[in-house]
Amino acid sequence: MHDLLTYRDFLYFLVRRDIRARYTQTVLGVGWAVLQPLLTMIVFSIFFGRLADIPSSGVPYPVFSLAAVVPWTYFANSAGYAANSLVSNQQILSKVYFPRFLIPASPIGGGVLDLAIALTILLGVMAGFGFFPTVPNVLLLPVLVLALVIVTTGVGLWLAALAIQYRDVRYTTPFLLQLWLFLTPIIYPLSVIPSDLRWLYSLNPMTGVIDGFRVALLETGAVQWSSLALSFIVGTVLLVSGARYFNRIERVFADIA
């Protein structure tokens, strides 16, 4: 805890560095934070909305998918960057001491900026389709962002600590995240899952978060409190166990790096 205070400025500059590295090295700069969810939305709308005619809880498929793609993009990108973070910072890890969790924390914290930009775009697209968030539901948003960050941090810590020990983790992470996307109500609504299986399905902590985003912004149905509660519970378990595992492995980072 004392360490965190000492090194909080380092976290700030680390986040800045990661954001800068991401934006200045690319043709479009900040544009990617906007384009990535938008392009995903367009592709999903054409293939799943139009061609496959997947139900979208009574709202136009583009807004239906974008409301899910925005938080999912944050999760997938941040967890992916976190998985790589220790490996790509190995050199510093073996030379300088600072609390190690700052390294995966940086992309998770920095991703919040992308999330904010993407949420603004989402509100714009919603307005274009005549949707405006209304009061009781939209208040759920901060709670959902909190759940999202908890789940992302938990998964990110696990992946980071595993990736520095096992080479294959880094290469299979994108694939696993791809599978995970299909196991989460992103291209289809939660309602297609039979209700007696929903608790099982909601053990995936992203289920409650993603469905929550739709309910909060598009009022696609009633809040699934049990799914949301499961998101928090599973997310916290991931976070606590991830932090403990990370702590244990942390001591040998410098030796195996």
Partner 1 sequence: MSELDHRFAVRVTGLGKRYRIGLRFDREDSLFLTAARTLAAPVRNFRNLRRLRVFSDDEEPDVIWALRDVGFELERGEVLGVVGRNGAGKSTLLKILSRVTEPTTGTAQMRGRVASLLEIGTGFHPDLTGRENVFLNGTMHGMTRREVAARFDEIVEFAELEQFIDTQVKRYSSGMYVRLAFAVAAHLHPDVLLTDEVLAVGDAQFQQKCLGRMREVAGSGRTVIFVSHNRSAVSSLCTRAIWLENGRMAADGAVDDVLARYHESLLVGTDAELVHRADRQGDGRIRIVGISFRDSSGERMQTATAGSEVDIVLAYESGNERPVRGVSVTLILDSATGHRLATISNDFSGEDFGELPPVGELICSLRLPLTGGTYVWSIKARVGGGLADRVMDAAVLSVDGSEFYPTRRAPDIQAGELLLDYRWAAAEATFARGRESNAGTIGR
Straight-line distance from the first to the last Cα atom of the chain, in angstroms, rounded to the nearest whole number: 25
CB 149 → partner 1: shortest distance, Å? 23
What letter represents residue 225's amino acid?
W
Task: Out of 132, 166, 199, 225, point to the residue binding partner 1 (CB under 8 A).
Answer: 166
Nearer to partner 1, 132 or 166 (CB): 166
Q: Measured at the alpha carbon of residue 12, what is the angle toward residues 233 and 32, in degrees to the nearest 5?
A: 75
How far apart are the C-alpha atoms of 77 and 253, rounded to whole Å?
Answer: 23
Contact between 98 and partner 1 per CB under 8 A: yes
28 binds partner 1 (CB under 8 A): no
Question: Any contact of residue 26 with partner 1 (CB under 8 A)?
Answer: no
Nearer residue to partner 1 within complex by CB, 6 or 134: 6
2 binds partner 1 (CB under 8 A): no
Tell whether residue 103 is a contact of partner 1 (CB under 8 A): no
The least CB distance from residue 136 to partner 1, in Å, is: 41
Q: Which stretch binds partner 1 (CB under 8 A): 127-135, 138-146, 158-166, 218-226?
A: 158-166
Q: How far apart are CA 158 and CA 124, in angstroms?
A: 35
Residues 194-253 that bind partner 1 (CB under 8 A): 251-252
